[in-house]
Chain A
């Protein structure tokens, strides 16, 4: 299946083209406010891709993805102040720790029906919110929690990316790698196992699939990506605030991942644009951003009722129909 692994579909070409655009063009044209918005959006796109693929491919609902980002960010900040490792090391460690933490949180539910995972992660989101509010984020202080009053210690970003423009490129590259990581899984045995699990856990088991293992693996990937996204967000802002990781945020990113659609790269991009870029526009025009909650909630209902593959799915269908009309084969 080696040829199949590296084959690029039309959707894939479009994705790579978009990544190239985001890498080359966007950082050069955006002003400092929009650079920060786009970087933040890119981090959330990575998180959305994790929670989204888990829902779209396996029907697994995680309502604590932003909370897990907070774990990744916390670990990255703590490592930054405690040791002198390069940023990349912090990134990897934060991702792995978040993955393990995610497994710990989800452990009570992974062998049960999907509903229990939604419930357990909802509770976890609440719990994480409280932990972040109580213990806050490290900013150079002493002790395990590493919090101090007063001014911030410097945060060491990646050596490759010392300017905001370069950092956006760095994040875009990481996000693209994250998407490719998921895609690779989908094309190999895990993707096949997940598709069977989606179809019927009983049938998957009868086909020899270790259902618990593969569900755990999928959740691990979501945790890994959340951890990386959190670390990248910490790198962008230099500090993190507990308000960013409250439970409504985890629910929103999940809702938007469903609204955007998560069967391809386009879905998480739409989700992150809705989550970070659109509210920034609204705020700059003086529109109350609470309306965003309403619109996203309505969008979620609409997506669940009529458009299971989300906006991205509808775009793909439209593109597919247009292609057929023009005589291209899908």
Chain B
């Protein structure tokens, strides 16, 4: 369960997040809204790149904001960015291994887990290739695989479908749907691909200008007229 309580973030005079609250209980939650609404800002607060001016965020009851940012991964936090952050020099396998290095446990168990997630994402054949040699989709899959290892609790995807074809987006969607069964983790997804989001997410938070304008089960949120006015768009019928 992810509890976001009254999170506010200010940059000087700009209020990027304005008293945002939401409780995510389903396996996959979505965060949508126009550009500049504060979606990435919210994820950055969870990751620890930004400090909130007020508010709390609890992941499975534990206060994540009180933990040093690099230690949040050990508590089960995973993050994938708008641009996939894959080290060009490392092999796919090593790129995934990075996530496991700080965690306790025998090396053989870690190797086995990397192999398992390579298989899940379909990257086993690419495992030895360097990051620089991968296609954009393979890089995204490596990113996803990295998020799956090491007992994740909360995985955050920031626009994972950016730059992917329809087929690739569909495959990514399948992967995201399988995360909870595979690892027990909750997932939060930011994306502008409404089809992907509505297929994959059970509940959604909608932000606009830093405020929450809707939160709830996907179908309800997508039908909400505030959401349509701010983001999804309404139909204008010319008489």
Contacts and interface: CB of A to CB of B under 8 A. Distances in A.
A contacts B directly (C-beta below 8 A): yes
Interface of A: 1, 189, 192-193, 195-196, 198-200, 202-211
Interface string B45-78: 0011100000000000000000001110110011
Contact of B70 (A1, A195, A209): A209
Given A192-B90, A192-B98, A206-B73, A1 B111 contact: yes
Contacts of B90: 192, 195-196
A175 to B, nearest CB: 24
12 contacts: A192-B90, A192-B101, A195-B89, A195-B94, A196-B85, A196-B98, A206-B73, A207-B73, A208-B71, A208-B74, A208-B98, A208-B102
Given A199-B85, A203-B81, A192 B73 contact: no
A207 B146 contact: yes
A207 B96 CA distance: 9
Given A199-B85, A206-B79, A208-B98, 4 more contacts: A196-B90, A199-B87, A202-B47, A209-B70
B86 A208 contact: no
B101 A193 contact: yes
Q: For B69, B71, B97, which residue has the most chain A Cβ atoms within 10 angstroms?
A: B69
B85 A203 contact: yes
Nearest to A263: B89
A210 to B, nearest CB: 5
Nearest to B43: A206
A248 to B, nearest CB: 32
A53 to B, nearest CB: 13
B28 to A, nearest CB: 19
B48 A205 contact: yes
B88 interface: yes
A195 B99 CA distance: 13
Contact of A206 (B47, B101, B103): B47
Nearest to A203: B85
Interface of B: 47-49, 69-71, 73-74, 77-79, 81, 85-90, 94-95, 97-99, 101-103, 107, 111, 146
A310 B85 CA distance: 25
Given A193-B98, A199-B85, A206-B79, A211 B70 contact: yes
Q: For B49, B97, B102, B107, which residue has the most chain A Cβ atoms within 10 angstroms?
A: B102
A192 B48 CA distance: 22
A209 B99 CA distance: 8
Given A205-B70, A207-B73, A192 B49 contact: no
A243 B30 CA distance: 64
Nearest to B44: A202
Given A198-B87, A199-B88, A207 B98 contact: yes
Contacts of A211: 70
A1 B74 contact: no
A199 B99 CA distance: 14
A189 B111 CA distance: 13
Contacts of A205: 47-49, 69-70
Given A192-B90, A206-B73, A208-B70, A200 B85 contact: yes
A218 to B, nearest CB: 15
B165 to A, nearest CB: 24
Contacts of A199: 85-88
Contacts of B73: 206-208
Nearest to A197: B87
A205 B49 CA distance: 9
A33 B222 CA distance: 82
B107 to A, nearest CB: 7
Contacts of B146: 207
Contacts of A192: 87, 90, 94-95, 97-98, 101
Nearest to B156: A206
A263 to B, nearest CB: 9
A138 B96 CA distance: 51
